[in-house]
Each structure stands twice: as structure tokens, then as C-alpha cells.
């Protein structure tokens, strides 16, 4: 899992790149690269905003980003060939085989 901190010192229109995410001063967080559920299910960010005053004031926010799993793997059968035998008296719509 990733655990990092972003430190914003002044409120200007800049974009801070922090490995996987971009943080825009407006408060928007966007991804910088494609996320992979198999690599990490969660990302935890600590964002600290500080003003530019003589006695700087600041606040911290915790952001938990949860990645949902996408079906990005091709289907696979457990074997290449399946065999099935049936009696000629097998009724229509009877199950004759199961593949998985």
C-alpha cells in the first residue's frame, strides 16, 4: 500500500505531482497513471494545506482512495478438451456437460 503526504505552501494555481496522483490547489485529485487493483486495493494520502502568513495556519485531510477491480483478465477454461457421453434417450434440454 502507498502512504504519502502532500504539502501545499501557498494557494496558487499549481499542480503537484506525487507519483500516482495530481493534486490541484482547487482541491481536485486526479490520477497520474493507470491504477491496478492487483497491485494495491487502497491508497492513503495525507494532504496538508498551509497559508503564506507570517504565522502560517494549516490543516490536514486524510484521503482514502479505494480501487475497484475491473475485469481485465481474459477468460480461461480449466482444460482444452471436454468429453461427454449421453444415451440416445437423453431428453431435449437435459444437461449433457459442464465446462469451467
Question: Does 58 map to a domain?
Answer: yes
Q: How many domains does the chain have?
A: 1
The answer to the question of residue 8 being in a domain is yes
- pTM here is 0.51
Question: Looking at the domain assignment, is residue 95 inside a domain?
Answer: no
Residues of the chain predicted below pLDDT 70:
1-19, 25
Within a domain: residue 88? no
- How far is Cα 38 from Cα 23, in angstroms, rounded to an integer? 24
Residue among 4, 67, 12 at smallest CA distance from 40: 67
pLDDT of residue 18: 53
The Cα 14–Cα 36 span in angstroms is 27
Tell me whether residue 26 is in a domain: yes
Between CA 42 and CA 35 the distance in angstroms is: 10
Amino acid at each position: 500500500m502507498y502512504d504519502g503526504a502532500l504539502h501545499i505552501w501557498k494557494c496558487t494555481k499549481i499542480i503537484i505531482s506525487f507519483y500516482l496522483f495530481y493534486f490541484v490547489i482547487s482541491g481536485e485529485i486526479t490520477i497520474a497513471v493507470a491504477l491496478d487493483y492487483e497491485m494495491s486495493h487502497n491508497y492513503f494520502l495525507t494532504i496538508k494545506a498551509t497559508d503564506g502568513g507570517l504565522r502560517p495556519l494549516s490543516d490536514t485531510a486524510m484521503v482514502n482512495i479505494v480501487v475497484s477491480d475491473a475485469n481485465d483478465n481474459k477468460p480461461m477454461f480449466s482444460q482444452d478438451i471436454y468429453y461427454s457421453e449421453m444415451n440416445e434417450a437423453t431428453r431435449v434440454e437435459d444437461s449433457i456437460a459442464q465446462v469451467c
